[in-house]
Amino acid sequence: SSTLMPKAAKRMVILAIVWLVFLLFVSLKSAHAAPEAGGAASAALSSAKASYQLHCAACHGTDRLGGIGPALLPENLSRLRKGEALKVVRDGRPATQMAGFGQALAADQLAALVDWIYTPVVPAPVWREADIRASRIQHAEPAKLPARPVFEADPLNLFLVVEAGDHHVSVLDGDRLEVIHRFPSRHALHGGPKFADGGRYVFFASRDGWVTKYDLWNLKVVAEVRAGINTRNLAASPDGRHIAIANYLPHTLVLLDGDLNLLKVLEVSDRGGKHSSRVSAVYDATPRHSFIAALKDVPEVWEISYDPAADEIPAGLIHDHAQREGAFIPGYLNPRRTQLSDPLDDFFFTQDYSELMGASREGKGQVVNLDARKKIADLPLAGMPHLGSGITWDWRGRRVMASTNLQAAEVTVIDLQSREVVRRIPTRGPGFFLRSHENSRYAFVDSMMSPEYKHVLQVIDKETLKVVHELTEQPGRTLAHVEFTRDGSYALASLWEDDGALLVFDAQTLAEVKRIPMRKPVGKYNVWNKITREEGTSH
Ligand code: DHE
């Protein structure tokens, strides 16, 4: 054993030397490589910044917050794949002002530029009250415009169709099923446009924060204002005097008057003011004369009264440094908080608007009473229910609500009284939108979230709660989002492609009666159904 020991020790020593040499080699190599990689990265960064200022800043803003072109921030680009963005920068976008820079920039410069626009701006960009005020544009003098429609069509049976292909809105006569007007919109409108003043005015929000007021009787844009940098949606009071805008960036809820003048910016944070929050969505609760907002990062629901005579509320229920002096402050335009255990992502109002049924991103369902200001029940939901697109109808003596699910291939039907799931109707795939009309026995649901079945629109019989028919397009193309005409006799669906169309179906026979070509039609909104809060559509 005495001869073996030195041998083993020798081996150990050799191994240790080899290991040390290896470590030295690796550290030398990385020490050598690090500045090189760092150098390459910083060279790419300065190339990107230089290319941006030279080619992009004029339209997209020196600060990337947007100009004639959209904002180029990761928050605003989250829906565009990087590969797609690269193609757009290289080849341009046909029929828009976006030119291609494939000739001007080498491949590595293009790649660096695209990487950079997907990198957050630090510190996060701000959009203050002064920015909002300065952005406002008055396009027309409302007082000088006639208070009657400039067209023959029934102003209450018009549809607005948002065409994402070339960022336009079409105005469609719902009786003749013909487009009577088409106008350019802001880039990437999202959420439903909101009608006010008996359907004369309509308000749109774009993902970049632009709010547009449009006079539907005169077919004219009245005014515009930029209320945020990355916006979710807007809500309007029925008289059109108060508008609320839900923002992701900055963390604000913006309140405007009907002429799009700034009334107030609510900085959104928890009661203690420690954690700020994005706003998931804001809706009008008409009978309550208030807006209700769901917060994304803080477990609270806010109710903001737009009734100037609103009761005073205890200061503890709001968080507004300027006004915390007294024990009570006016309710008007100040948030009343409902504390929850989980944040709500989206929700559905019950019929009298005293309660809302909401779900978190993880699908945790809950019922919140807005008067008691607390959660009163759990909802047996799973996946990612899309409660915002819920509809209601009477079913066997009960009132039911049904909604799609962005993760599960089902339409969930819930009894509004007992809050029990009365049926899970299997569908082809997870869907986005569910639509009906009180005069129709059918509800239409898409399977947009399923690559295999996004071309199929399924028709559910509201009595038997069964799928009774399928309307199909070519596989690979998307068929989704239905809205009925005022009387419920026709259902209009989007063939959601750049060379797409609006497909008109007879709501009884389900036969296709007309196809109106459109550029990637997204949502469509019927004036009557929206202003009467028709049971089969979103509000
Ligand atoms: Fe929407 C409405 C949230 C992605 C098209 N969408 C809404 C509303 C919310 C919402 C809260 C209700 C606003 C209202 O009516 O004022 N949407 C979300 C998301 O969180 C989600 C999943 C991710 C996101 O990027 O925001 C999302 N939405 C989409 C899309 O990908 C869609 C299909 C295409 C697009 O244009 O962005 C899309 N959303 C729509 C449409 C409405 C909508 C067409 C209006 C529905 C209606 O008929 O009222």
| pLDDT tens, position by position, 60-84 | 988 898 887 888 998 888 888 999 9
Average pLDDT, whole number, for the chain? 90
- List the residue whose alpha carbon is closest to atom 23 of ligand 1: 79
Tens digit of pLDDT for each residue in 503-513?
999 999 999 99
Q: What is the pTM (predicted TM-score) of this model?
A: 0.88
Between the CA of 388 and the centroid of ligand 1 the distance, in Å, is 9
- The per-residue pLDDT for range 330-389, each reduced to its tens digit, is 799 999 999 998 898 889 998 889 999 998 777 788 999 999 999 999 998 888 888 888
Closest residue by CA, ligand 1 atom 24: 79
Task: Give pLDDT, residue 176.
Answer: 98
Integer Cα distance of 486 and 480 in angstroms: 19
Rounded CA separation 244/266 (Å): 10
What is the per-residue pLDDT for 97?
Answer: 83
Ligand 1 centroid to Cα of residue 141, in Å, is 31
Q: Are 467 and 460 in contact (CB under 8 A)?
A: yes
What's the CA gap between 81 and 15, in Å, rounded?
Answer: 49
> What span, in angstroms and rounded, lies between the C-alpha atoms of 298 and 467?
39
Q: Is pLDDT of 526 > 90?
A: yes
Q: Give the ligand 1 atom nearest the CA of 235.
A: 16
Query: What is the CA(433)–ligand 1 centre distance, in A?
Result: 9
C-beta of 191 in contact with ligand 1 (< 6 A): yes
Residue range 202-243, pLDDT digits in tens: 999 999 999 999 999 999 999 999 999 999 999 999 999 999
Q: Is the CB of residue 243 below 6 angstroms from any atom belonging to ligand 1?
A: no
**Whole-complex ipTM:** 0.96
Residue 428 CA, ligand 1 centroid: distance in Å:
21
Structure confidence at residue 381 (pLDDT): 83
Identify the band that residue 31 occupies on the pLDDT scale cut at 50, 70 and 90. Answer: very low
Q: Which ligand 1 atom sits nearest the alpha carbon of residue 233?
A: 16
| CA 307 / ligand 1 centre spacing (Å) | 28
Of all protein residues, the one whose alpha carbon is nearest to atom 12 of ligand 1 is: 191
H/E element, 446: strand 442-446
Q: How far is the CA of 254 from the centre of ligand 1 (A)?
A: 19
CA–CA distance from 354 to each of 283, 286, 292, 415 (Å)?
14, 11, 11, 16
* Structure confidence at residue 30 as a pLDDT band (50, 70, 90): very low
State the closest ligand 1 atom to the C-alpha of 194, by its place in the atom list counted from 1.
16
Helix (H, G, I), strand (E, B) or coil at 249: strand
pLDDT value at position 36? 52
pLDDT in tens, 186-197: 999 999 999 999
DSSP 327-372: SEEE-BT-EEEEE-SS---EEEE-TTSSEEEEE-TT--EEEEETTT
Give the ligand 1 atom nearest the CA of 205: 16
Binding site membership of 187 for ligand 1 (Cβ less than 6 Å):
no
CA distance 41 to 63: 21
Kindly indicate the confidence band of residue 321, based on its pLDDT and cuts at 50, 70 and 90. low
Nearest CA to ligand 1 atom 13: 191
**What pLDDT, in 10s, does the model give residues 104-129?**
999 999 999 999 999 888 888 899 99
Q: For a pocket test of ligand 1, which of 168, 190, 195, 444 has the largest count of ligand atoms closer than 8 A to its C-beta? A: 190
pLDDT single digits (tens) 435-479: 999 999 999 999 999 999 999 999 999 999 999 999 999 999 999
Query: So what's the pLDDT on residue 536?
Result: 95
